[in-house]
Structure formats: structure tokens, C-alpha cells
């Protein structure tokens, strides 16, 4: 498998969009799926399907083993200490809700403060917002600077004796800023503040090492990692999963259920109530195998090179204004065009088969700060090429022509 011709591993690229080759530049939203992942779902349902963790028949045992294998694959991929630190959820959103809910319930009281940043995706703000009402906590925002970056100092400035948890993105889905999270975590820990990292954009593009980062929680979105939808991962240090209460109640997460009381199951079952997204978990194992075969370092290098190329050609285009020039930038190219609204850009690009996203990208706080209602965003994945970025640029020129003629 070679990164140069990796497109052929993704069946979606066999299709035409408005009679054009698909130029998919919306991977920060959701990535396309390699054939191995799609096939794994089909094979599981046609040859191996059973519910996991309950029955003792042949299929049930086999399915349980497959399901647990992915847990180990994830553990190794992010270098967590223990497979029981990996909890499957219905998405990164649920992973963050799980922490906000259980941590809030157990540890937060009126007047406590939660620190997030102005860069956060709504899914790392709204779950914490509920605690304003239920617990009377305050949410503080670390300032984003003019480059679309968050500095350690901006975090430090907003930490108070009342700060009880820091929730922060690893990589901004709008400005592409890769935050110095290791240093930020060290700073927070020096003040006894646990840290949740929203890793939705980090996990698909950066090499991860939970033990080295030492974060308390790390949320992952599997569909952004060439995996199935309906699945997320919450990494949490074992001590937290032991200390925090369960999130949802139901089958599979219990120890003993009696009329007078209930005990809860061991890790990780305690947090996996009900029948889980079994096929997705098993197929996600193939996503990780796929990434591992290519090597995440190689993917990083490929995407870094493409991002640089994309920035270069867009900078040369006088009508384009790139949003965010952070010190360390991931493969996200947000931009605006003089005289053309991002939604019109997206519609015109779509006609050429170029798929981008336009809008606030679930980051209204950031857009307000930038003084923009919306931006256009091209985001890259392993399958993108320089040709894709050239097509982006030429379709952008078409927008300019339509609107300025």
C-alpha cells in the first residue's frame, strides 16, 4: 500500500459527482472509508454476527473476541496503559457528554469554574453548558489570538483557584491550530486541574501517546478516522473511570441487580450500557489497521506537505483570505473570498465535484471573535493529492469569475 495511490483503496472515488471526479476536501467533517472497513461490516453481518458479552454460544464468543480486539487495537494506537481505559461511545460528542455529566455530578458545585477555549467545537462547549444550570458553575474561555492559536499563557491567565477542569481541543477544526497540549496539561496538572482533550481532529492526523501526554480524558471520533459513523472512543485514566459514576444505565453495565439496590459492572462495561455499535467497533479495528499499515507518521508527513502546498497556491490567489496562521498547523484550510459568501463558494465548487464545507463549522464563538459569520473550509485526508488542491484553486477562480463578471 502506497500513500501516493491510496485513493484506489477508497471505493467512493469510483463515483462521479456532477460528472466530475470527486475532490473530497471535507475530511475534518467526516472522512471517507477504505474498502477494508466497508467489507468488514458486511462480513461481520453476513458471517459472524451475534451480540457481544452475553451469550455463551459460538458466534457470541467469537463476536465478543472481535469486539475486544478493537479495544486493544485502540489502546495500542494511542498508547494507553490499559485496554480498560478505552470506552466505546456513540461518538466523540457522547464521550465529552459522558465526562461533563459524570464529572459534574460528582465533583462540581456552585461557583466552580470550567475552563475551555474560544476555539472549541460546540461539542466541547455545549455539554459543559448544562452544568451552568444544574450545578451553577461558570464557564471561562481562554482567548484565541490573531493567528487562530491558543497559547499556554492565555490558558494560564484564565486559571483561577476555582477552576476544576480544563477541556481543550487538540487541533482546531477551523484555524488548524495544533495546540501545545502536553505543556498545557503539565501546567493544569501543576495546579491539580484534570484535562479533557477533544481529539476529534487530533486522532486522525497526529501520532498519539496517552501515557506521554498524561491527559485525563481524550475524546475520539471514529468516523473522522476512516471508520464507521455512530462510534466514538473515550480514553480516560483508569482512576477516573473507577471514581466517576456510570453515565447511562441498562444491560451489560451492571454487577448485580436486586429490588433493593444495584451494583455496577467492572471496567469498561460500567460505561457501555446496552447493546453497543458492535459492527462499527469491529470495523473500526480495520480503520486502525489501515492507518497502521501506512504509518501515522507517513500520513502526517503527507498531509503536512499538502497543507503547505495548499497554503502556497491559495496565498498566491489575491482574492483568497486564509483564516488562521497558527504556529503549528494541521491539514485545515479555512478561507474567505472577497465578494463571495462561503455558501455560494460551496455550491459553485460542488458543481465541479469539489466537496468543501461552508458555515461556522460548529464554532460560533470563534467566528464571532473573528468577526465572520461563516468561512469556507477545505480539509484534507490521506487520499488527497496536489491535483485536488489545484482543482480547488481553479474552482475558486470560477467563483470569482461568476461573481465579478
Partner 1 sequence: MDLKDLYQEIILDHGKNPRNLGKFENFNKDAKGHNPLCGDKVHVYLKVDENKKISDIKFEGHGCAISMASASIMTELMKGKDQKEVNELIEDFLKMIKDNPELESNLISEDDKTKLMSLSGVKKYPMRVKCATLPWHTLISAMTNKPGEVNTEKED
36 belongs to the binding site for partner 1 (CB under 8 A): no
Residue number, 343 or 386, with CB nearest to partner 1? 343
374 belongs to the binding site for partner 1 (CB under 8 A): yes
Which one from 200, 215, 222, 362 is the annotated catalytic residue? 362
Strands, E assignment, 124-216: 138-142, 163-169, 195-198
323 belongs to the binding site for partner 1 (CB under 8 A): no
Q: Which residue, among 283, 352, 387, has the nearest Cα to 43 in the 3D structure?
A: 283
Q: What does the alpha-carbon distance between residue 53 and residue 59 come to, in Å, rounded to a whole number?
A: 11
**Among 66-74, 147-155, 221-229, 343-351, which window interacts with partner 1 (CB under 8 A)?**
343-351
Among 35, 129, 341, 369, binds partner 1 (CB under 8 A): 341
Going by their DSSP bridges, the two strands 261-264 and 254-258 should be labelled as antiparallel
Q: What does the alpha-carbon distance between residue 213 and residue 232 come to, in Å, rounded to a whole number?
A: 20
191 belongs to the binding site for partner 1 (CB under 8 A): no
Q: Are 172 and 162 in contact (CB under 8 A)?
A: no
291 belongs to the binding site for partner 1 (CB under 8 A): no
Among 1, 5, 8, 18, binds partner 1 (CB under 8 A): 18
362 included as an active-site residue: yes
Least distance (Å) between residue 20 CB and partner 1: 12
Least distance (Å) between residue 133 CB and partner 1: 20
**Among 241-249, 258-266, 301-309, 351-359, which window interacts with partner 1 (CB under 8 A)?**
351-359
Q: Which residue, among 207, 237, 238, 204, has the nearest Cα to 222 in the 3D structure?
A: 204
Dihedral sign of CA atoms 347, 351, 352, 354 in order: positive
200: number of Cβ within 10 Å: 27
Among 20, 359, 390, 393, binds partner 1 (CB under 8 A): 359
Binding mask 384-403 for partner 1 (x = CB under 8 A): ------------------xx
- Angle between helix axes 278-294 and 35-43 (nearest 10 degrees) is 150
351 belongs to the binding site for partner 1 (CB under 8 A): yes
Phi and psi at residue 82, in whole multiples of 5°?
A: -140, 135
21 belongs to the binding site for partner 1 (CB under 8 A): no
Q: What does the alpha-carbon distance between residue 174 and residue 64 come to, in Å, rounded to a whole number?
A: 38
Q: Are 356 and 401 in contact (CB under 8 A)?
A: no
Residue number, 144 or 184, with CB nearest to partner 1? 144
Among 104, 324, 330, 342, binds partner 1 (CB under 8 A): 342
90 belongs to the binding site for partner 1 (CB under 8 A): no
373 belongs to the binding site for partner 1 (CB under 8 A): yes
364 belongs to the binding site for partner 1 (CB under 8 A): yes
Among 8, 191, 343, 386, binds partner 1 (CB under 8 A): 343
130 belongs to the binding site for partner 1 (CB under 8 A): no
Number of residues binding to partner 1, judged by CB under 8 A: 19
Going by their DSSP bridges, the two strands 320-323 and 332-337 should be labelled as antiparallel
**Among 76-84, 102-110, 266-274, 360-368, which window interacts with partner 1 (CB under 8 A)?**
360-368
CA–CA distance from 157 to each of 113, 153, 193, 402 (Å)? Answer: 14, 6, 14, 47
Among 344, 369, 390, 393, binds partner 1 (CB under 8 A): 344
CA–CA distance from 77 to each of 80, 207, 287, 311 (Å)? Answer: 8, 8, 11, 30
310 belongs to the binding site for partner 1 (CB under 8 A): no
Show the cell assigned to 353. Answer: 465535484
Dihedral sign of CA atoms 394, 397, 403, 405 in order: negative
111 belongs to the binding site for partner 1 (CB under 8 A): no
**Among 60-68, 188-196, 295-303, 340-348, which window interacts with partner 1 (CB under 8 A)?**
340-348
- Angle between helix axes 342-351 and 386-404 (nearest 10 degrees) is 120
339 belongs to the binding site for partner 1 (CB under 8 A): yes
The footprint of partner 1 (CB under 8 A) covers 18, 339-344, 347-348, 351, 358-360, 364, 367, 373-374, 402-403
- Tell me which residues are annotated as active site: 362
Amino acid at each position: 500500500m502506497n500513500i501516493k495511490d491510496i485513493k484506489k483503496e477508497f471505493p467512493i472515488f469510483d463515483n462521479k459527482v456532477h460528472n466530475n471526479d470527486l475532490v473530497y476536501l471535507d475530511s475534518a467533517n467526516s472522512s471517507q472509508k477504505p474498502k477494508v472497513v466497508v467489507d468488514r461490516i458486511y462480513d461481520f453481518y453476513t458471517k459472524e454476527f451475534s451480540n457481544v458479552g452475553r451469550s455463551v454460544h459460538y458466534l457470541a464468543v467469537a463476536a465478543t473476541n472481535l469486539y475486544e480486539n478493537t479495544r486493544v487495537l485502540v489502546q495500542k494506537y494511542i498508547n494507553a496503559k490499559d485496554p480498560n481505559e478505552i470506552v466505546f461511545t456513540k461518538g466523540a460528542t457522547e464521550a465529552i457528554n459522558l465526562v461533563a455529566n459524570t464529572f459534574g455530578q460528582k465533583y462540581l458545585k456552585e461557583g466552580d469554574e470550567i475552563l475551555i477555549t474560544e476555539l472549541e467545537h460546540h461539542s466541547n462547549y455545549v455539554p459543559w453548558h448544562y452544568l451552568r444550570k444544574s450545578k451553577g458553575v461558570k464557564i471561562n474561555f481562554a482567548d484565541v489570538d490573531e493567528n487562530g492559536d491558543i497559547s499556554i499563557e492565555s490558558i494560564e491567565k484564565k486559571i483561577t483557584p476555582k477552576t476544576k477542569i480544563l477541556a481543550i481541543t487538540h487541533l482546531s477544526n477551523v484555524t488548524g491550530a495544533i495546540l501545545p497540549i502536553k505543556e498545557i496539561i503539565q501546567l493544569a496538572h501543576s495546579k491539580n486541574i484534570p484535562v479533557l482533550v477533544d481529539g476529534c481532529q487530533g486522532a486522525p492526523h497526529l501520532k498519539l501517546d496517552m501515557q506521554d501526554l498524561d491527559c485525563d480524558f481524550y475524546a475520539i471520533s471514529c468516523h473522522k478516522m476512516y471508520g464507521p459513523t455512530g462510534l466514538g472512543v473515550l480514553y480516560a485514566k483508569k482512576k477516573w473511570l473507577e471514581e466517576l459514576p456510570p453515565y447511562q444505565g441498562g444491560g451489560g453495565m451492571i454487577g448485580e441487580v436486586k429490588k433493593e439496590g444495584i451494583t455496577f459492572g467492572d471496567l469498561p462495561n460500567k460505561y457501555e450500557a446496552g447493546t453497543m455499535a458492535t459492527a462499527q467497533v469491529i470495523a473500526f479495528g480495520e480503520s486502525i489497521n489501515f492507518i497502521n499499515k501506512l504509518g501515522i507518521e507517513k500520513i502526517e508527513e503527507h498531509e503536512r506537505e499538502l497543507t503547505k502546498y495548499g497554503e502556497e497556491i491559495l496565498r498566491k490567489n489575491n482574492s483568497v483570505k486564509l483564516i488562521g496562521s497558527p504556529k503549528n498547523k494541521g491539514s485545515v484550510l479555512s478561507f474567505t473570498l472577497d465578494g463571495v459568501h462561503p455558501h455560494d463558494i460551496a455550491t459553485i465548487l460542488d458543481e465541479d465535484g469539489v466537496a468543501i464545507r461552508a458555515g461556522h463549522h460548529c464554532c460560533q464563538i470563534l467566528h464571532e471573535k473573528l468577526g465572520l459569520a461563516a468561512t469556507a473550509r477545505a480539509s484534507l485526508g490521506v487520499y488527497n493529492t496536489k491535483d485536488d488542491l489545484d482543482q480547488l484553486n481553479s474552482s475558486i477562480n470560477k467563483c470569482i469569475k461568476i461573481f465579478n463578471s
